[in-house]
Chains A and B, each alone.
Chain A
Amino acid sequence: MNPSYLLWVILILTIIGYFLGQNRAARVADGRLHRLHSVPSYHGIYVLLWAALPAFLLLALWVAMESWLALELAIAQLPDRFTNVDARALSLLQADVLNIAAGINTGRETAPEVKEAAEAYNNLRSMGDTAIFFVGLLMGLAGLRFALNRISLELRARNQVESVLNVLLILCSLVAILTTVGIVLSLLFEAMRFFTWVPPAEFLFGLQWSPQIALRADQVGSSGAFGAVPLFTGTLLITAIAMVVAVPIGLMSAIYMSEYAPVAVRSAAKPVLEVLAGVPTVVYGFFAALTMAPFVRETFGANGLGLDVASESALAAGIVMGIMIIPFVSSLSDDVINAVPQSLRDGAYGLGATKSETIRQVILPAALPGIVGAVMLAISRAIGETMIVTMAAGLAANLTANPFEAVTTVTVQIATLLVGDQEFDSPKTLSAFGLGLVLFIVTLALNMIALRVVQKYREKYD
C-alpha cells in the first residue's frame, strides 16, 4: 500500500479531530466558555496537532529510511560469499539488487540468490508500506484520543499550540539560513580544490586570464593562465560606467519625484520608472547587444568620432547595465529623501531658502548616508549582474581601462566556464568557483557596509 494514502487518512483525521476537540471543550465548559483557559478553537487545533504530528513524523522517518532499511535486510539474507567482499563490489551488488527489484535488465547474468534478494527487497518494502499505514493510522487515532482525553478547563491549549507554531516558524527560517550556509560551504570547498591547482596569490594577482587545459601535450596554447586581474578590472570598468549612468539619473529623478513632481505626475511616473526594474535582464542583454553596441560604434567609431571601438565595447554593456540599475537607485533614494523629516524642510523654507537650496544644502546632506547605502547596494548588484554582460561585453579578457575596448567580467567567465557538460576535476571548471568566491565576498562586504550605513541613518531620524 502506498504510504501517501496515509497522508490523506491523517488529513481527514485532523479535520475530524479539530471539530471533536472544539466540541469537547465546549461541552467541558458547559456553556460558560470563559471558564476555559483557552478558547475552544485552540482546543480544536491542539487535538489536530496531536492527531497529525506523531503520525507525520513516523511517515517522514519511514520515507527517509525505507529503501535503505529494506536493502540492508535483503542483502543480509544473502550467503556470505556475496556479502563478504570489498566496498566496491558491495555497492555493485546493491545496485544490482535495486535494478532487478525495479525490473531493469542489468544485461548480465545474475545469480539466483541475487534475484531472490531483489524479490525480498520488494516484499519488504510493500510489507513495510502496509505496516506503516496501519501503524500511522493507529498513532493518529491514539494521538487524537489522548488529546481529547486531556481537554479540561485547565488545559493550556493556547500556550501549547503557540509553542508548536513557534517551532514551525523557527524551522522555516532555519531552512533559509541553512541553504545559505550550504551554498557558501559548497562554494568554499570547490574553491579550495581549485586553489590546490592554482595558488591563491597567482589567481588574485596574475595579469593573464586564459582558462585552458591541454588535451595533448604538444597542443598550441596549451598552458592555462589563471590570473584573474583582467576580470576584476573588467568588472570594475563596467560597474563604474554603470554607476556613472545610474547614480546621477537615478538620484535626480528621485529628487524630482519626491520634491518637485505634482502628485498626479508622481503617481503616474513612479510606476513607469519601476517597470524598468521588472524588465528581465535577458531583454536588457538584447538591447545592449543589438541596439546600444551598434549605436556606440556608430557614434564613437570610424563613422563618428573616429575612435577605435570594439564591436563588443565595455561602454555599451556599462550603459545598459546603468539603465537597468536606475530604478534601483531612484526608488531607494526616493524612500530616503522622503524619510527626511518635514521639519527640516520647514526650517530651511522658514529662513527663506529656495527649493533647490533646501534640497542641495539641507535635504541631500541629511539623506546622504541613505543615498550612499543605496548606491552601494546598486554597485553590488551591478557586480553580480550576469546576463547583460554575457550578451554584450564579450569574452576577451583584456587588461584595459579603455571603455571602447572589449572586456570581460567575473560573472561572464563563471557563466561560460560552467555552460554545457563539464567535469569538475580540472582547474578550468573549478576556477569558476574561485571567481564565485571572490564575487561572493565582495558583494557580501558591500551589502553589509551598505546595510550598516542605512541602519545608522535610520536610528538618527526615527
Chain B
Amino acid sequence: MTASTMNVDPSAIAMSNADAVGTGRVKIHSKDVKVFYGAKQALKGIYLDIFEHSVTALIGPSGCGKSTYLRCLNRMNDTIDICRVEGLIELDGEDIYGRTIDTVQLRARVGMVFQKPNPFPKSIYDNIAYGPRIHGIGARRDEMDVIVEKSLQRAGLWDEVRDRLKEPGTGLSGGQQQRLCIARAIAVSPEVILMDEPCSALDPIATAHIEELIDELRENYTIVIVTHNMQQAARVSQRTAFFHLGDMVEVNDTEEIFTNPKDERTQGYITGRYG
C-alpha cells in the first residue's frame, strides 16, 4: 500500500492516475503542486489529471486543501498576497503559471462558481453580460441578447427569469442566484468550470436542480467540483479524488472510490469515521 504511507511515491500516484478508466484526453495535468500561505504549507505536492468532458469531484475533510487546489487551477490564489504556488499545472499542455499566460485570458477559459451565490449588484441581464463585455464578446445588442438567453437556458434559469431580466440579480432566491452565477460563468464560454461547494448554501430542491445541471453541462465543459457531500460526489462525478491534510490520497473512478477504496483513510472518510 504505497499510497497509505506518508511519503507518497509520485510515480505510484501517476500510475494510479493512468490506471483510472479516464474518458477522453487529459485537460488539466498537475504535477507536484505545492501551495504555501505564508510559512504554512497547504498543499504538499499534488499529482492529479483531470479529463475532458467529465466531472471530477474533490472530496475530503475541511482544511484538507481541496479548495486551495481548485483555486490554483484558475490562479484565483493570485489575489491572496501571502499565497505562493509551486509545481506544474498544465491546461491543454500549457503551463498556466508560465510567463506567457495572462490571468485574464486564463480565467476566461477556466470559469468558476463559488460556495456562496455572489451575483453582482446589477440586473440579471447585466450579471450575465458582464463576463462577455469585459472580454469584448457580443458588442452588438442583439448578439448579447442571444448570449444572455443561451446562458440562462443552459443554466436552467431562463423560464423563471425571462420576464424580469431588468430586475436585480440579488433579488432572486438562493438556488436561482447560484444558477445565475453558473449562467454567468457559462456566458464567457469557458472550457473548464470550477465549482467550489456550489450547493452548500442551498436547500435540497435547489441542490437537485444544480446537480442535474452539472450533469448536462458535462457534455460541453470539463467540470471540477469540490464538495463535502459524498452522495453528491457519487451522483454527479465520474472521477473522485480524495484529499487529506494537504495530500491527494487517492483518485479513481467514482464508483471504485466509493465501493472499493484502496486507502484506509479514504475508506475511513467515506464511511463517516472522520471528516
Chain A residues at the B interface, C-beta cutoff of 8 Å:
262-263, 341, 343-354, 357, 361-362, 365-366, 460
Chain B residues at the A interface, C-beta cutoff of 8 Å:
74, 76, 79, 81, 103-108, 111-114, 116, 118-122, 130-131, 134-135, 170, 181, 184-185, 188
Q: Closest chain A residue to B78 by CB distance?
A: A349
Q: Report A239 CB to chain B, min CB distance, Å.
A: 29
Q: Are B107 and A346 touching (Cβ within 8 A)?
A: no
Question: Which 8 pairs between the two chains have the least Cβ-Cβ distance?
Answer: A352-B107, A350-B112, A343-B118, A351-B131, A352-B108, A347-B118, A366-B121, A352-B104
Q: Report A219 CB to chain B, min CB distance, Å.
A: 64
Q: Report A151 CB to chain B, min CB distance, Å.
A: 53
Contacts of A361 in B (CB 8 A): 120, 130, 134
Q: Are A350 and B111 touching (Cβ within 8 A)?
A: yes
Contact A346 to B114, CB < 8 A, known contacts A351-B131, A352-B134, A352-B188: yes
Bound form: Cα–Cα A53–B112 in Å: 66
Bound form: Cα–Cα A347–B135 in Å: 15
Bound form: Cα–Cα A343–B198 in Å: 13
Q: Are B105 and A352 touching (Cβ within 8 A)?
A: yes
Q: Report A433 CB to chain B, min CB distance, Å.
A: 45
Q: Closest chain A residue to B103 by CB distance?
A: A352
Among candidates A344, A351, A365, residue contacting B107 with C-beta atoms closer than 8 Å: A351
Bound form: Cα–Cα A343–B116 in Å: 7
Q: Can you name 19 A-B pairs with beta carbons within 8 Å?
A: A262-B81, A341-B118, A343-B114, A343-B118, A344-B120, A345-B79, A348-B130, A349-B79, A350-B107, A351-B107, A351-B111, A351-B184, A351-B188, A353-B104, A353-B131, A354-B104, A362-B130, A365-B120, A366-B120
Q: Report A458 CB to chain B, min CB distance, Å.
A: 14
Contacts of B181 in A (CB 8 A): 347
Bound form: Cα–Cα A351–B105 in Å: 9
Bound form: Cα–Cα A349–B106 in Å: 11
Contacts of B116 in A (CB 8 A): 343
Q: Closest chain A residue to B127 by CB distance?
A: A347
Among candidates B81, B121, B134, residue contacting A351 with C-beta atoms closer than 8 Å: B134
Q: Report B139 CB to chain A, min CB distance, Å.
A: 16
Q: Report A229 CB to chain B, min CB distance, Å.
A: 40
Interface of A is mostly: helix
Contacts of B112 in A (CB 8 A): 346, 350-351
Bound form: Cα–Cα A70–B118 in Å: 75
Q: Are A347 and B104 touching (Cβ within 8 A)?
A: no
Contacts of A357 in B (CB 8 A): 134
Q: Are A350 and B121 touching (Cβ within 8 A)?
A: no
> Known contacts A344-B121, A346-B112; can you find 20 more A-B pairs with CB under 8 A?
A343-B114, A343-B116, A346-B79, A346-B118, A347-B181, A347-B184, A348-B120, A349-B79, A351-B130, A351-B131, A351-B134, A351-B188, A352-B106, A352-B108, A352-B135, A354-B134, A361-B120, A361-B130, A362-B120, A365-B120
Bound form: Cα–Cα A263–B82 in Å: 10
Bound form: Cα–Cα A64–B250 in Å: 85
Contacts of B79 in A (CB 8 A): 345-346, 349
Among candidates A263, A349, A365, residue contacting B81 with C-beta atoms closer than 8 Å: A263
> Which of A263, A345, A350, A366 is packed against the most chain B CB atoms within 10 Å?
A350
Among candidates A262, A341, A350, A354, residue contacting B76 with C-beta atoms closer than 8 Å: A350
Contacts of A344 in B (CB 8 A): 118, 120-121
Bound form: Cα–Cα A262–B80 in Å: 11
Contact A353 to B81, CB < 8 A, known contacts A344-B118, A347-B118, A348-B120: no
Bound form: Cα–Cα A116–B121 in Å: 83
Q: Report B239 CB to chain A, min CB distance, Å.
A: 23
Contacts of B113 in A (CB 8 A): 350
Contacts of A349 in B (CB 8 A): 76, 79, 107
Bound form: Cα–Cα A92–B51 in Å: 105
Q: Report A461 CB to chain B, min CB distance, Å.
A: 9
Contacts of B81 in A (CB 8 A): 262-263
Q: Are A347 and B114 touching (Cβ within 8 A)?
A: yes
Contacts of B76 in A (CB 8 A): 346, 349-350
Contacts of A460 in B (CB 8 A): 170
Bound form: Cα–Cα A48–B121 in Å: 57
Bound form: Cα–Cα A130–B170 in Å: 73
Contacts of A351 in B (CB 8 A): 107-108, 111-112, 130-131, 134, 184-185, 188
Q: Report B124 CB to chain A, min CB distance, Å.
A: 14
Contacts of B188 in A (CB 8 A): 351-352
Q: Report B246 CB to chain A, min CB distance, Å.
A: 22
Bound form: Cα–Cα A352–B108 in Å: 5
Bound form: Cα–Cα A365–B114 in Å: 21
Among candidates B104, B119, B121, B184, residue contacting A365 with C-beta atoms closer than 8 Å: B121
Contacts of B120 in A (CB 8 A): 344, 347-348, 361-362, 365-366
Contacts of A348 in B (CB 8 A): 120, 130
Q: Closest chain B residue to A349 by CB distance?
A: B79
Contacts of A263 in B (CB 8 A): 81
> Which of A347, A353, A354 is packed against the most chain B CB atoms within 10 Å?
A347
Bound form: Cα–Cα A354–B135 in Å: 10
Q: Report B70 CB to chain A, min CB distance, Å.
A: 11
Contacts of B122 in A (CB 8 A): 365
Q: Report A141 CB to chain B, min CB distance, Å.
A: 65
Contacts of A366 in B (CB 8 A): 120-121
Bound form: Cα–Cα A460–B104 in Å: 29
Q: Are A353 and B121 touching (Cβ within 8 A)?
A: no
Q: Report B80 CB to chain A, min CB distance, Å.
A: 10
Q: Report B222 CB to chain A, min CB distance, Å.
A: 16
